[in-house]
Structure 1
Amino acid sequence: MEMEKKEDEPLPPRSRIHPSNKMKMIRIFYNVLVAAFLLLTGGLIAWGFQLLE
């Protein structure tokens, strides 16, 4: 009898079983972009000061 009850219940949505980590990946992507921008800017400024000497 218990098996029949379980078969009658619908399955939960896929998003509940396998939650998406899309927002986490977007946050990591933007952090990498900001870090790359800051490193590139700092490197170009340092290179410019080195050429002035």
Structure 2
Amino acid sequence: MPLHDAVALAEIDLYTDVLAAVSEADAPLTTEELDRVLGVRPRTTASPAPARVSLA
């Protein structure tokens, strides 16, 4: 009986998208490029930005 974890599969899919984008880039991805790859929509309010997480 196969076991499917939808959250884990979604995370793997996002990670794969990021790795593909990084492998095609000539330089580190900008925040905007990373947001685009992850499908993050731009903020529409003037609220402060959340803390950044370094992937390095």
TM-score, normalised via structure 1 length: 0.40
TM-score, normalised via structure 2 length: 0.38
